[in-house]
């Protein structure tokens, strides 16, 4: 029977019959791959929800959508009611905008919560796989020394484990890199659109609450 097709060298057999250290590496990489896909889909979903909410407010302001009215706009209006002596119109509007950004950052943070984990998987998974590869090669050399035999039957299990951990490292890291880059680019565009919406809303709220006449020129 072809050794490549042997059931003893199948992925399941390699995982169950591997050295405890290599088995731990394999399980870590498998879980990392599952976590990568789960986080990628969840982050994309959250970004999609926020993007659709922003599009729904186009031309109507953030106050027109419940996702923003109860947090960002409410905090902005609360800030707008606070009076600070000798505050200029520009400072007044900047204070409102700053309060809105603080509230908005909470929404953005929830939308990109998975990106840091994806970046970690993308950078660490290949090295975890490399560690498993080195350990598998060491097992092969130990088998050669113990059996005093360099036949394929002696070295195949260790080499197969080594190559399998390398493959698992790539399986975990490559999708994580792609997802991180793609979702990170989308998040940058989403943050810019969100920032523009906050600036417009802050200006509208400042005007609605009334800027002192002597400072109106500074606010415009």
Give the model's confidence band at 41: pLDDT under 50 very low, under 70 low, under 90 confident, else very high: very high
Reduced DSSP (H G I as helix, E B as strand, rest coil) percent helix, strand, coil of the chain, to 5: 85, 0, 15
Q: Is the pLDDT of residue 190 over 80?
A: yes
Q: What is the pLDDT of residue 176?
A: 94
Distances (CA, A) of 36 to 27, 43, 142: 14, 10, 35
Q: Is the pLDDT of residue 96 over 50?
A: yes
Residues 144-153 have pLDDT tens digits of: 666 665 555 5
Give the model's confidence band at 13: pLDDT under 50 very low, under 70 low, under 90 confident, else very high: low
Give the model's confidence band at 178: pLDDT under 50 very low, under 70 low, under 90 confident, else very high: very high
Mean pLDDT value across residues 52-59: 83
Query: What gap in Å lies between CA 183 and CA 154, rounded to an integer?
Result: 46
Average pLDDT, the chain: 79
Q: Is the pLDDT of residue 195 over 90?
A: no
Mean pLDDT value across residues 162-191: 90
Bigger pLDDT: 188 vs 140:
188
Bigger pLDDT: 161 vs 211:
161
Domain range enclosing 153: 3-219
pTM value is 0.73
Q: Is the pLDDT of residue 155 over 90?
A: no
Q: What is the pLDDT of residue 39?
A: 93
Q: Is the pLDDT of residue 214 over 50?
A: no
Q: What is the pLDDT of residue 1?
A: 40
Q: Is the pLDDT of residue 122 over 90?
A: yes
Torsion angle, alpha carbons of 71, 77, 78, 80, to 10 = 140
Q: What is the pLDDT of residue 125?
A: 93
Give the model's confidence band at 220: pLDDT under 50 very low, under 70 low, under 90 confident, else very high: very low
Supply the Cα-derived Rg of the chain in whole angstroms: 28
Query: What gap in Å lies between CA 79 and CA 63, rounded to an integer?
Result: 15
Q: Domain tally for the chain?
A: 1
């Amino acid at each position: 029977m072809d050794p490549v097709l042997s059931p003893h060298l199948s992925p399941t057999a390699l995982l169950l019959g591997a050295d405890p250290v290599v088995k731990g590496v394999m399980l870590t990489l498998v879980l990392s791959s599952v976590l990568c896909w789960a986080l990628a889909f969840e982050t994309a979903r959250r970004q999609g929800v926020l993007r659709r909410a922003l599009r729904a407010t186009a031309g109507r302001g953030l106050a027109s959508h419940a996702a923003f009215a109860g947090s960002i706009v409410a905090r902005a209006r609360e800030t707008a009611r606070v009076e600070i002596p000798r505050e200029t119109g520009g400072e007044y509007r900047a204070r409102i905008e700053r309060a809105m950004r603080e509230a908005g950052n909470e929404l953005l943070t929830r939308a990109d919560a998975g990106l840091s984990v994806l970046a970690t998987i993308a950078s660490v998974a290949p090295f975890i796989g490399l560690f498993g590869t080195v350990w598998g090669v060491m097992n092969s050399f130990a088998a050669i020394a113990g059996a005093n035999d360099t036949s394929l039957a002696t070295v195949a299990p260790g080499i197969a484990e080594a190559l399998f951990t390398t493959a698992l490292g790539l399986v975990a890291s490559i999708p994580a890199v792609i997802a991180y880059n793609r979702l990170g680019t989308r998040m940058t565009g989403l943050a810019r659109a969100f920032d523009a919406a906050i600036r417009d809303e802050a200006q509208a709220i400042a005007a609605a609450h009334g800027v002192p006449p002597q400072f109106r020129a500074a606010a415009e």
